[in-house]
Amino acid sequence: MTTEIRGCCPLDCQDSCAWVARVEDGRVTRVRGAEAHPITQGVLCAKVRDYETRTYAPDRLLYPLRRVGPKGAGQFERISWDAALGEIAERFAEVIETHGAEAIMPLHYLGSMGVLQRRALMRLFHALGASAIHGEVCGRAGQSITERGHPFGFDPEEIADSRLIVLWGANILSTAHHHWHFIQAARARHGAEVVVIDPRRTRTARQADLHLPIRPGTDVILAASLGNVMLSEGLVDRAHAATVVADLDAYAAEVAPWTPARAADVCGLEAADIVALARKLGAARPAVIRSGIGPQQTISGDAYMRAISALALLGGHWRQRGGGLFVETYPRFDDVAAERADLAKAPRRSLDIARLGQVLTDPTLDPPVKALMVWGMNPAVIQPDLGTVHQGLAREDLFTVVLDHFVTDTARFADIVLPSTTQLEHFDVQGAWGHHYILLNDPAIPPLGEAKSHAEVMRMLAARMGLSDPALQESDEAIVAAALPEDVTLATLRELGWCKASPPRPDPTVGEPLALRIGLDDLGADRPDRLPGDRLRLLTPKAHHFLNSSFANMPRHKAAQKGPRLQIHPDDAAAGSLKDGEFARVRSTTGEIEVIVEVTDAVRTGTVALEGKWWQPLDAPERPGAVANRLAPARWTPAGQPAYNDIFVEISAIAQGSAADLSGHGAKT
């Protein structure tokens, strides 16, 4: 018998696609993009088009495990759910008794964006009085401008009406390719121009009308110079600016020194290109500046965000459909409400998830974190300051529980590993961070093995710990209902599978005028206007075939990605005697990794790039692998954004023969 079940992709991606799973004789044989979903338009991406292979992967985690070897060695024995829940309940109770409930830390991110998978377990931690968490491992810099009242997103379907689309450090043909539909529509309807600002000639840059290969980390200077030209050439509608901006004179004074010539020197661009882009930004009715994550993840990321928001406001772009700044946008869906933070009986401290290494190793933290439960995140791969994170996770006195689909690098540090259902095996509802649809996911098949959904784990653990609040036994549907806006019901969602719930379009003319000051003077020793030294700067962008570290264990995905390849310009390769296809060691002040050299002029000189969040190769645990964050510094912007892209490295060839075990990354498959 064949049936088709409506669902959605749960991954951390701005497209949040709707899919249809085909089930034949109880087995999912295919997932395809929902044709009628206005964003998905019938196609899934290169990562997810065979999502069922993740569900049925031979190395899928299907039973609870208990650690039997030293911490981090990844040696486990199979145990029952009863034993696993018993041990977790007992250890949590012990920690609470000895150190207080704040010694327990929940840690989650967007492994699954479903409200149940992501938020339901938080009910348990709130009820226990565990430490709360805050912070961001993704785009904290972008979010920080909203705290200054700056809008940073609108309905992406409007982009079909943009006249100029500036993709600033955004490689959307790899990372949010469904948004390209609307760019194509804008080109077809209005002859819209597409400008890409990226140190690399990416898939997206190749499709642009203009590509500016900027020197990384200098974007704030480019933006200041664009603002300077717009003001000095009279391209700013001053009457409009006066209504939305509080400090135009201060801003003008701040950007005035950044002539195109000076900025060109710092940014590694042509002055004429800067002037031309400023004129386009002044003339387009309207332009959208769409920022990706790359330039946010630098030490000047917060300032960069302030600087590009200023351009969108000064250009008056918010006034028209399709115009403004686009970083993130959400439907009216309050998934935090589903956590029920009110279950906590007393105020608690809050720990920064982007500084996990410090949190787990700080000897002054009182109480210390003694128990950690992780889901939807792979901190052993994706955190900055990774050496400290590993040190923390390796603490013998830290009791760690990890829920995942696989024994990830993080799960290898766990005391108890719990098998989590994939999106084909559970019910869930989710919002999005790149469009305005709320999506429903029905289970296509029952859970495989002994996998359980996170809401189920929450209910079981709460019962086991003797917690009696009814919120801890609520049904999936009741938990979801807490997140839905008033005008959307589960019944409505069930009819189509999704529902558009747009918030009002931001209007900067309403409310207090906004401060534009970038704060260039506050960048201090981190001023991006200093020309970098002669060391190479490493970027760690997203891989086309992985979703962060998800899928980096899947054979098809690894083969498609062709191993951890370090993109390096021919001149830099020649200077370091590095040859295409050979192995190399990359060192920073914090660690080293091993990569395959890819000589290409798609990166600018002085810059190298490694796509993908690779796992530690299991067949060679003594080797450093290609876990890029071994090289990432312990540096954050003032807002708390990890500066993953502020890595300076040295590269040396590895003698042939000694690098055979790089095959663990799929290099030889």
Ligand X SMILES: Nc1nc2c(c(=O)[nH]1)N[C@H]1C(S)=C(S)[C@@H](COP(=O)(O)OP(=O)(O)OC[C@H]3O[C@@H](n4cnc5c(=O)[nH]c(N)nc54)[C@H](O)[C@@H]3O)O[C@H]1N2
Q: Which is nearer to ligand SF4, 353 or 547 (CB)?
A: 547
523 binds, among Mo ion, ligand X, ligand SF4, none (CB under 5 to 8 A by kind): none
CB of 158 to ligand SF4, least distance (A): 20
Question: Quick check: helix, strand or coil at residue 201?
Answer: coil
Rg, Å, the chain Cα set:
25
Contact between residue 311 and residue 244 where contact means Cβ atoms under 8 Å apart: no
Select from 5-13, 268-276, 358-366, 464-472 the region that touches ligand X (CB under 6 A).
5-13
Q: Which is nearer to ligand X, 461 or 628 (CB)?
A: 628
Asked if 312 interacts with Mo ion (CB under 5 A), we say no
The whole-angstrom separation of Cα 209 and Cα 291 is 17
- State CA 443 to chain mean position distance: 26
- How far, in Å, are 215, 268, 569, 632 from residue 605 at the CA level? 9, 10, 5, 20
The closest residue (CB) to Mo ion is: 138
Q: Which is nearer to ligand X, 51 or 399 (CB)?
A: 51
Contact between residue 381 and residue 629 where contact means Cβ atoms under 8 Å apart: yes
**How many other CB atoms are found less than 10 A from the CB of residue 238?**
11
Asked if 629 interacts with ligand X (CB under 6 A), we say yes
The whole-angstrom separation of Cα 567 and Cα 602 is 8
16 binds, among ligand SF4, ligand X, Mo ion, none (CB under 5 to 8 A by kind): ligand SF4
Per CB under 6 A, which of residues 106..125 are in contact with ligand X? 109-112, 117
Helical packing angle, 248-255 and 219-232, nearest 10°: 110
Q: Which residue has the tokens 């042509």?
A: 270
Q: Which is nearer to ligand SF4, 14 or 143 (CB)?
A: 14
Contact between residue 582 and residue 656 where contact means Cβ atoms under 8 Å apart: yes
The whole-angstrom separation of Cα 659 and Cα 669 is 15
Which position among 6, 163, 200, 390 is part of the footprint of ligand X (CB under 6 A)? 200
Task: Please choose, from the candidates 278, 257, 253, the residue with its C-alpha nearest in 3D space to the C-alpha of residue 266.
Answer: 257
Number of residues interacting with ligand SF4: please give it, by CB under 6 A. 12
CB of 133 to ligand X, least distance (A): 13
Q: Which is nearer to ligand SF4, 291 or 423 (CB)?
A: 423
Q: Which is nearer to ligand X, 306 or 348 (CB)?
A: 306
Which position among 547, 627, 628, 632 is part of the footprint of ligand SF4 (CB under 6 A)? 547
Which position among 294, 315, 323, 640 is part of the footprint of ligand X (CB under 6 A)? 294
Which position among 199, 268, 564, 640 is part of the footprint of ligand X (CB under 6 A)? 199
Per CB under 6 A, which of residues 329..368 are in contact with ligand X? none
Which position among 17, 165, 353, 382 is part of the footprint of ligand SF4 (CB under 6 A)? 17
Q: Which is nearer to ligand SF4, 44 or 631 (CB)?
A: 44
Asked if 154 interacts with ligand X (CB under 6 A), we say no
267 binds, among Mo ion, ligand SF4, ligand X, none (CB under 5 to 8 A by kind): none
Contact between residue 423 and residue 52 where contact means Cβ atoms under 8 Å apart: no
Q: Which is nearer to ligand X, 153 or 508 (CB)?
A: 153
By the 10 Å C-beta count (0-12 exposed, 13-18 middle, 19+ buried), 363 is classed as exposed
Contact between residue 334 and residue 485 where contact means Cβ atoms under 8 Å apart: yes
Asked if 138 interacts with Mo ion (CB under 5 A), we say yes
61 binds, among ligand SF4, Mo ion, ligand X, none (CB under 5 to 8 A by kind): none
The whole-angstrom separation of Cα 177 and Cα 39 is 10
Per CB under 6 A, which of residues 389..418 are in contact with ligand X? 403-406, 408
Asked if 18 interacts with Mo ion (CB under 5 A), we say no
Which position among 7, 8, 9, 10 is part of the footprint of ligand X (CB under 6 A)? 10
The whole-angstrom separation of Cα 553 and Cα 546 is 9
543 binds, among ligand SF4, ligand X, Mo ion, none (CB under 5 to 8 A by kind): ligand X
The interface mask with ligand SF4, positions 27-66, x = CB under 6 A, is -----------------xx-xx------------------
Q: Which is nearer to ligand X, 361 or 550 (CB)?
A: 550
Contact between residue 198 and residue 204 where contact means Cβ atoms under 8 Å apart: yes
644 binds, among ligand X, Mo ion, ligand SF4, none (CB under 5 to 8 A by kind): ligand X
β-pair partners for 648? 537
- How far, in Å, are 71, 77, 86, 639 from residue 83 at the CA level? 20, 12, 5, 42
Q: Which is nearer to Mo ion, 376 or 508 (CB)?
A: 376
Select from 92-100, 130-138, 159-167, 296-304 the region that touches Mo ion (CB under 5 A).
130-138
β-pairing verdict for 76-78 and 104-108: unpaired
CB of 387 to ligand X, least distance (A): 14
Contact between residue 583 and residue 594 where contact means Cβ atoms under 8 Å apart: yes
Which position among 235, 445, 483, 539 is part of the footprint of ligand X (CB under 6 A)? 539
CB of 219 to ligand X, least distance (A): 5
β-pairing verdict for 18-24 and 2-8: antiparallel
Select from 341-349, 363-371, 378-386, 478-486 the region that touches ligand X (CB under 6 A).
378-386
The whole-angstrom separation of Cα 293 and Cα 170 is 7
251 binds, among Mo ion, ligand SF4, ligand X, none (CB under 5 to 8 A by kind): none
Task: Please choose, from the candidates 447, 433, 361, 362, the residue with its C-alpha nearest in 3D space to the C-alpha of residue 405.
Answer: 447
Q: Which is nearer to ligand X, 155 or 219 (CB)?
A: 219
Per CB under 6 A, which of residues 162..181 are in contact with ligand X? 168-172, 174-176
CB of 333 to ligand SF4, least distance (A): 16
Task: Please choose, from the candidates 10, 42, 295, 302, the residue with its C-alpha nearest in 3D space to the C-alpha of residue 146.
Answer: 302
β-pairing verdict for 592-599 and 565-568: parallel
Asked if 15 interacts with ligand SF4 (CB under 6 A), we say yes
Write out 78-138 in H/E/C secondary structure.
ECCHHHHHHHHHHHHHHHHHHHCHHHEEEEECCCCCCHHHHHHHHHHHHHHCCCEEECCCC
Q: Which is nearer to ligand X, 245 or 543 (CB)?
A: 543
Task: Please choose, from the candidates 550, 447, 666, the residue with its C-alpha nearest in 3D space to the C-alpha of residue 45.
Answer: 550
283 membership: H or E segment, kind and range: helix 271-283
Q: Which is nearer to ligand SF4, 17 or 314 (CB)?
A: 17
DSSP string, 429-497: EE--SBSSEEEEE--SSPPSTT-B-HHHHHHHHHHHTT---GGGG--HHHHHHTTS-TT--HHHHHHHS
Which position among 5, 6, 7, 11 is part of the footprint of ligand SF4 (CB under 6 A)? 11
Task: Catalog residues that contact ligand X under the rule CB under 6 A.
Answer: 10, 12-13, 47, 109-112, 117, 137-138, 168-172, 174-176, 197-200, 202, 214, 216-217, 219, 292-295, 298, 375-378, 381-382, 403-406, 408, 420, 422, 539-544, 546-550, 613, 628-629, 632, 644-645
Task: Catalog residues that contact ligand SF4 under the rule CB under 6 A.
Answer: 9, 11, 13, 15-17, 44-45, 47-48, 178, 547
